[in-house]
Structure 1
Amino acid sequence: MSPTIGVLALQGDVREHVAALEHEGARAVGVRRRSELDAVDALVVPGGESTTIDKLLRAFDLFQPVQQRLRDGMPAYGSCAGMILLADRILGGIEGQRTLGGVDITVRRNAFGRQVDSFETDLAIEGVEGSAEEPVHAVFIRAPWVEEVGPAATVVGRVEEGPAAGRIVAVRQGPVLVTSFHPEVTGDTRVHRLFVQIVRESR
């Protein structure tokens, strides 16, 4: 039976994540309410503006329920702003900004610069099928990077060349995966395939 994976539908590339998940055999649904959250096996937190998503999570009374599901072991995937929201610690946030937590990392918000500093590169991501030979094309849009990784988390991807060479941009901790980049905009669904596999294994 296909897993049901929710996509937090408050802001960001919701339709693109839904399409990629469905392409990889999951049933994907938008999540805006507690009842919708309760009905899913896992959750994708898409890109967007992390401070806005934080405020909307609270406005929709979803912050605590999502945080509790994560603490109870719900698989989750966060891209860009989603990485910030799933990090335990944040640098460069605004006053009062909170994260859901779930991954033992410190992220720096907007680390790669403003919108004009957005860039693309090819990456090998541990666990992503064939990415050593056929890299994942990664799109970074006002993206964070990971400044520090705690012992509970594992680095699965780094920028390999250019000014940002060596920067950590993909991390996994148990059933939670986070990336600085937006795989949902490229048509390459292998990162979503990995997440669907994580969800299947955790059921």
Structure 2
Amino acid sequence: MKLLVVDECCFTRIGIASHFTDNVFASVKCCPDIDTALPLLASFKPSHILVNLTNYCRCTTDNQLLSAFITAAWRATVHIYLDAPYPYSESPLRIASNTFLFNKAVLPIALKTLSKIPSELMKDQEAHSLFSPQELTVMRYWMSEMPNYRIAKKLQISSHTVYVHKRHITEKINVRNRLEFYSLYNILRYFYPPEPTTFKQVGSASLALQAVV
């Protein structure tokens, strides 16, 4: 097994690499950014990836480099962490078949888990979705800034049901408000892509993320 660490902070990279001096992984490589990491996915072929995507929480448009990285990393177990207090969870949250998301405060727990049972984390290889099909549809309309009554009309459900879906979505991703969810959605969109016919960029609300993250 091989580990790839992607973080612009050299101290974090060194700290993570030194944590695995007991040969849990056959090899550990570190790099500062996605641009440098992308070619390593083909040459180094990591089985596990730890990557800090905090900066991408501020990107409200699709980033081709990040999209290529996530697509190329499909064979690896990916651990995404953020320099933010959310998701509010004491353990990594599985958001896709091969991907976990957590705030940086949980990093020691993730490292401990990787030290003990790295091969067990992805024992279940079946397709995994954190959200139900209708929650995904609501989320896509929500992120296009469509009001609840219009979402309800399109899905032929009540406005209250739309509200409940939104509440469940934020609860599942462990955030406390809409702005925090908007921030995480800029990562989630690569795993739950918006439908081209219904999506338009989040406008003024997304701009507030600059002050939140």
Scaled to the shorter chain, the TM-score interval is 0.3 to 0.5
More helix by share: 2
Normalised by the length of structure 1, the TM-score is 0.41
More strand by share: 1
